[in-house]
A and B are shown apart, each in its own frame.
Chain A
């Protein structure tokens, strides 16, 4: 496989090319034409299919190829996340089509179809398609459990009324459908042989500041909503930046490190608007609305199409900062986390593993690997607990006797990472700790010394970045927010780097912050992945509900293009599932996120605590 095809087939579908997270601008054709195929993500899939002769050249292929102006913005975005440069694929796609046309190759026109005509009548001529090139880009994602399923139709309604009419029409013709917002898609949930309803055009964001809420359309991505909220002095609790807010609530409920204080699932919204499977529109606050607050441990179907969510706004204090508290063991990190959550110290808390920290902070794979070793071997940091809070919360952590890296130190560490990996003096820090691990962080003048030693600068950090992109990245890292842990936690733009080396499959569970239980399950996750030769690592833990429960993510990694690794991953996921169910049955306190899917509008209490809703009401 040549490099271009390899790049095309390695798209992670994290949809980071669909949001302007670097301030470098958005792919013009994608922003205008909305279908996935007009974004770099879709063009990657399309080129791979054309290069492997899996689809013919269609009318849309030509339009897609010609609409790319080779601006190179996708290189900035994709390189930031995966270190790939998709513009080579974009160029290859254009050349492929140009060559095809030049050689007089056939261009397949879309088939005439009365159902399609009906759909077009509802949404407009351009916003429904049965072109195979369009369908292809809605057919698959890197989930190892999902097989490609190209839909017959892709429809892009613009309003709740159009959604309702589309549903009614599809129902009339008994056409199955899947709904998506055109955000990231990695779980294989948004495919259908019938129709895919893409809500990516519905990007309305309406603030109602008096009521501390924002009405969000189903095509709004987390990054865009957070940006709009922050511009007004608010914060919202959102997931990964390219994830669609409504879809995310629907899928599993939104959780982030801020879920420590903002909660998850029903805690995040005030109301929501749905189009039911019968095409009827209802509001969750209607007395006659279905009870989506309840939860049943079952593989549920979506209760309808969420056409708007009324998301809670949260205040931002001017003195917020971050504390990264290092720990040599998971148990100590959990003790600290539990204590903070119980005492309500901090707005956001996350126990982060070495893989997360090193991958998040490093602009390249090579540096990430070196940083991970440095953190573990030299600094003896196995886990970092991130706490975001105001000055009083941060002072409390100090008063509790913990040393931490603050905003300034994190910026120094981040911009000085290359020096950190080669710094001989790091060996001394642990050797001289004198029984008090990480005590050096508590030295008053240590930040000054670290700045002298690491010589932090954007130029240093990006010295291994592709030379062509280096000037852009140097400028990017000169922006204060890119190394500000509070901003980074709100906008989460670096978390997508988890999938830089390989596609990541997240195994997520809710459980008590019980050291024994968590370390046992952590070991089991590790054992299972290791037995299949899969790369794996601890992901994160965030306390919920005053530390009575937490959400725990463990990550397995796979090469999405390696059939052997995919097979191993399927087996590993199955075994992990059995293991989770066993712990769930034995403890009565472990909930697998799989059972929450499609029930993300429920109250968190309904799935965090097994007693809730499991006993019938007395007659």
Chain B
């Protein structure tokens, strides 16, 4: 595959910089001394610049703000919502584009918005990329855009017809749309597909607390309900469900986690993701697809044991199969089962992501094994940040 010449000044235009992955890409580029042109929206009365400044503070790199440029844009509007002059002036620079903006919701009820954000908005962005003769268009997609038709997922265009949810489907459509438009316009492009990204494996810090965090958080909340009931309200309700607090302060919480089949959860830390992306951006290969994934996904049983240890609970059991609603052992089991419904495909995933291109781009650096120490670090940070509510306090 032919190599792509990177921008002379190393600057990139980045969308989705206020998101989890986008912000880490931004920080990674800045720390390498590279300028970033941020395109995005103000939200809730907060300007794009103010939102980014908050993130720079969080990363502790506010001194690098001078390397940033801000363009408040709306990808659903003609010319990205920019004035004609601004649009042309920005386009004239031919910057490589990293498109990271994405709606990551799974629920079918959000189909219209997810499709609009992840697919329809590409039209104007790609118009801009083509008109500006961008040096390269990098789409941050998802490993799960591969769909569920095949267990083996190569770093190749998606041909799947079946997906777990609208998010995966939208990402597959986005990939096909980007490759078709770029090919016809002769625009170099890459597609980067991360799996499930959690916090920094070294510091535990994170800006998002979904995916890996959701089941732990819900387990913690369920634990707290019953701890409170036992400590402050006679524990009768807990006892009815077989929930007891032992002398060591460990709560026995008999909950079965039902997964449809043996499978694993593919996790990578955000620091690894950033490192891999920066390597790819250094020497991007036109039309290449990169799986930024783990070769050693974790089993749900092990994650459950981590969660038990971290939360000081016992009684969590991973069960292969589907539980009938009327066969639920107790209210917390039923509630937990309901909570993880959307995540079930990802905690019992059988897909294997090949990563030849990524290995080549990163020199074969792999994500760290997901140890209890990393888990504890990440969850301790999540708890201290109140699962995101106290992030910027």
Contacts and interface: CB of A to CB of B under 8 A. Distances in A.
Nearest to B336: A432
A540 B9 CA distance: 62
Interface stretch (B23-31, B176-184, B221-229): B221-229
A451 interface: yes
Contact of B339 (A424, A432, A455): A432
Interface string A437-473: 1011001111011011101000000000000000000
B322 to A, nearest CB: 16
Given A445-B330, A449-B332, A452-B226, A432 B338 contact: yes
A399 to B, nearest CB: 16
Interface string A406-445: 0000000000000000001101100111111101100111
A432 B331 contact: no
Contacts of A446: 331, 334-335
Contacts of B225: 425, 449, 452-453
Pick from B108, B233, B237, B387 the residue with the most CB of A within 10 Å: B233
A440 B109 contact: no
B327 to A, nearest CB: 10
Contacts of A432: 214, 218, 338-342
Interface string B283-325: 0000000000000000000000000000000000000000001
Given A432-B342, A440-B338, A425 B237 contact: no
A436 B240 CA distance: 29
Contact of A449 (B232, B326, B335): B335
B126 to A, nearest CB: 29
B109 A443 contact: no
Nearest to B218: A428
B163 interface: no
Nearest to B326: A444
Contact of A443 (B224, B238, B335): B335
Given A428-B218, A435-B108, A444 B325 contact: yes
B110 interface: yes
B107 A448 contact: no
Nearest to B335: A449
Nearest to A448: B331
B232 A434 contact: no
B217 interface: yes
Contacts of A428: 217-218, 221, 339
A440 to B, nearest CB: 6
Interface residues on A, range: 20 to 34
Interface in B207-239: 214, 217-218, 221-222, 224-226, 228-229, 232-233, 237-238
Contact of A452 (B221, B237, B325, B339): B237
B61 interface: no
A434 B105 CA distance: 9
B237 A443 contact: no
Max chain B C-beta neighbours (<10 A), residue from A424, A452, A453: A452
B328 interface: yes
Contacts of A445: 328, 330-331, 334-335
A427 B221 CA distance: 10
B237 A448 contact: yes
B106 A449 contact: no
A427 B220 CA distance: 13
Interface string A71-90: 00000000000000000000
Given A443-B334, A444-B326, A435 B110 contact: yes
Nearest to B238: A452
Interface in B142-191: none
Nearest to A419: B228
A268 B169 CA distance: 57
Contacts of B106: 434-435
Interface string B89-109: 000000000000000001111
Contacts of A433: 107
Contacts of B331: 443, 445-446, 448-449, 452
Contact of A455 (B233, B328, B330, B387): B233
B335 to A, nearest CB: 6
Given A436-B109, A452-B238, A443 B221 contact: no
A444 B330 CA distance: 10
A417 to B, nearest CB: 15
Contacts of B335: 440, 443, 445-446, 449
Contact of A424 (B109, B224, B238): B224
Contacts of B342: 432, 434-435
Nearest to A433: B107
A455 B238 contact: no
Contacts of B226: 452
A428 B232 CA distance: 22
A448 B328 CA distance: 13
Given A444-B325, A451-B237, A435 B232 contact: no
Interface of A: 424-425, 427-428, 431-437, 439-440, 443-446, 448-449, 451-453, 455
Interface of B: 106-110, 214, 217-218, 221-222, 224-226, 228-229, 232-233, 237-238, 240-241, 325-326, 328, 330-332, 334-335, 338-342, 387
- Going nearest first, the 3 A-B pairs with the smallest beta carbon separation are A435-B107, A449-B331, A445-B331
Given A432-B218, A434-B106, A435-B106, 9 more contacts: A425-B225, A433-B107, A434-B338, A445-B334, A448-B237, A449-B225, A449-B331, A452-B237, A455-B229
6 contacts: A428-B221, A432-B214, A435-B108, A440-B335, A444-B328, A449-B332
